[in-house]
Chains A and B, each alone.
Chain A
Amino acid sequence: MDKVMSNKKMIALYVLPSLLLILAVVYIPIVLTGYYGLNEWNGIGSMKFVGLDNYQRLLKDSVFWDSAKHSLLLAVFSLISLIVYLAIAMVLAAKLRGANLFRKIYLIPMLLSSVAIAQLWLKIYHPTSGIMNTLLESLGVDNPPAWLAEPSLVLFALFIPILWQYAGFYILIYYAALKNIPTSLEEAAKIDGATSIQIAYKIKLPLVMEVLKVTVVLAVVGSLKYFDLIYVMTNGGPNGASEVMASYMYRTAFKSYDFGYGSAIGFALLIICLVATWVIRKLTETKDTIQYS
């Protein structure tokens, strides 16, 4: 058995194509992003090495820091909404009839393309014929705002469809984790006279902690690198009011043809995401994980 299963040629044949592909498409570009950031380059002509100029420019670039602030704000909103999703998942997991159907309905927006969702929400926010303002007008609101054209509102108007799209995803994850808790624990607590709120807070929450940590990383990093809906719906506008890091990178490279500076932004985005992951893991580190199986 061992001899057949440690045949070097076979192992290479099975692993190398995928390994080379992922090195070429994921890892080499990451290194190159950092390197391009050290150059002045319009994407076609020759590169000119400028050392840390682009990175110094980045540190002083208020547009970049504003976009970072917007990305961070999205991360904060995503974190707050996780609490709501967890609460909904707890309700779903409380042996209600139809729970399975509900969680499937909730998931539908996540399966659709961001472009379709973005185009749909552009229509929802349409100042005169969109469903948002038609509803507000029928509720008696005079002059409802032109959501995506208001610099003070646009960011929050964009957060709604983003959270809408991912709600079902997080509810599904929490639901799966809650369903993993053996019912015997809950029953024992009930016999001891625990209320459902005590059960939720003292028993269920600690047991889904590991999953919670994973979703916190997913939500924060996903928000920091968020791009799709914002790019299609406002492209960072009006006047930069909804610019996020990834959209700023994209605009700098593929619209202004400043590939060097765009790469520096892309590299900063990578570092920020990795640091955020590391910090969250450190902050939520626990000495012993609770076993319940």
Chain B
Amino acid sequence: MSVGQMDAGAMSPKAAFAQKIGYAILYIVLIAVAVLQLFPLVWLLLFSLKNNQEVFNLPPFAIPTHPRWENYQKVWEAGNIDVYFLNSVWITVVSTLLTVVLASLVTYAITRMKWKLSSLVLGLFMVAMMIPVHSTLIPLFSMFNDVNLTDKPASLILTYVAFNMPITIMILLGFYYALPKEVEEAAVIDGCSVNRMFFRIVFPMTSSVIATTAIINMIYNWNEFIFVNTFISSDKFKTLTVGVQNFIGQYTTDWGAIGATLMISILPILITFLFLSDRIVEGIAAGSVKG
């Protein structure tokens, strides 16, 4: 018998009633917080399906009788939203792949190989997490200018990989330390090369933690704003965050168009979250607590 049941058995009806009230209050608090977190987004969805007249005259949470899906069609066709969207996709994917592979190589070398500077190098990666990105912005801008990389997607990919590398290594480290070494030892005895061992044995064994770090990286890269805003000036290279920001500037009075643009920019994340929420939760928890 668990302790909880023992308590309940010994409780007077009055105390049991008080406990129920207590639980009810707790649930009300939790639901209130959930409502606070979700209502702005529900409101956004609703006004993305309305025209201005409906936004101004109907109550804010009134469900539109004729949802105006044409708002979405309009913004998708009117501006460069499709271009921004595709840029966001490929820059996010390339940066994430590079980060995950490079970080895995570093983590492998740090946890498995024997070299003197290993802890110093790990320290360098970890301290980099404490550097505010804004303090690097001006020199990065002028360095990219010097090598003709401003207004090129490469400037974004390089910075995304560098700034997400430390947290990716940190999440990978815990997993690598816990990974049994027997398989690798046997492989070495069989004359397996380091490369073969890493790419054929270790990398596949870490696929679950790689999925976690990849999702976290994708979310960060997808949402990144300040570097795009600073380095990229041509419309053809802008990503969704900056594109949305500029695009909305032209539509200041058309609420439906603004709502639809914002929904298009957040939908990929919301859909990912719907299917992979456990991994995302796990990744965010793992990436923060150890810091």
Contact = CB atoms under 8 A, between A and B. Distances in A.
Interface of A: 1-2, 4-8, 10-11, 14-15, 17-19, 21-30, 32-33, 36, 43, 88, 91-92, 94, 96, 98, 102-116, 119-121, 123-124, 129, 131, 134-135, 164, 167-169, 172-173, 176-177, 187, 190-191, 211, 214-215, 217-218, 221, 224-225, 227-228, 231-232, 246, 249-250, 253-254, 259, 262-263, 266-267, 269-270, 273-274, 277
Given A27-B128, A88-B33, A116-B265, A22 B165 contact: yes
B178 interface: no
A207 B59 CA distance: 48
Given A29-B143, A33-B136, A113-B265, A15 B109 contact: yes
Contacts, number: 272
A27 B273 CA distance: 34
Nearest to A173: B288
B78 interface: no
A249 B226 CA distance: 13
B91 interface: no
Interface string B158-200: 1101110110000000000000000001001100011100100
Contact of B37 (A23, A168, A177, A231): A168
Contacts of B189: 1
B245 A36 contact: no
A41 to B, nearest CB: 9
A289 to B, nearest CB: 14
Given A27-B128, A119-B262, A123-B47, A164 B36 contact: yes
B67 interface: no
Contact of B285 (A25, A172, A232): A172
Interface stretch (B68-76, B204-212, B276-284): B276-284
B37 A121 contact: no
Given A102-B34, A119-B244, A113 B162 contact: no
Contacts of A249: 134, 137
A22 B124 CA distance: 9
A36 B110 CA distance: 35
Contacts of A173: 285, 288-289
A108 B273 CA distance: 8
Interface in B20-46: 23, 26-27, 29-30, 33-34, 36-38, 40-41, 43-44
Give the size category of B's interface with A: 35 or more
A249 to B, nearest CB: 6
B37 A106 contact: yes
B107 to A, nearest CB: 9
Nearest to B102: A18
B187 to A, nearest CB: 10
Contacts of B108: 14
B103 interface: yes
Given A28-B139, A29-B136, A96 B27 contact: yes
Nearest to A268: B135
Given A105-B37, A114-B225, A88 B138 contact: no
A43 B41 contact: no
Given A21-B165, A131-B60, A190 B36 contact: no
B222 interface: yes
A91 B30 contact: yes
Contacts of B137: 29, 249-250, 253, 266
Interface in B100-130: 102-103, 105-106, 108-110, 112-115, 121, 124-125, 128, 130
A194 to B, nearest CB: 12
B241 A17 contact: no
A190 to B, nearest CB: 6
Interface string B132-146: 111111111111000
Q: Enumerate the 6 nearest inter-chain pairs by beta-carbon distance, A residue then B residue, closest first.
A: A25-B162, A29-B139, A32-B139, A113-B223, A29-B136, A225-B132
B211 to A, nearest CB: 16
26 contacts: A4-B194, A11-B109, A15-B106, A18-B105, A21-B162, A22-B166, A29-B138, A32-B139, A32-B143, A96-B26, A102-B34, A103-B281, A106-B34, A107-B281, A113-B225, A113-B241, A113-B244, A113-B266, A123-B258, A124-B43, A135-B60, A218-B288, A249-B137, A263-B139, A270-B131, A273-B130
A177 B226 CA distance: 32
A280 B163 CA distance: 24
Given A88-B33, A123-B258, A111 B40 contact: no
B140 A29 contact: yes
A134 B222 CA distance: 33
A266 B34 contact: no
A112 B223 contact: yes
Given A15-B121, A25-B159, A10 B194 contact: yes
A164 to B, nearest CB: 7
Nearest to A91: B26
Identify the interface centre among B37, B103, B248: most chain A CB within 10 Å of its CB.
B37
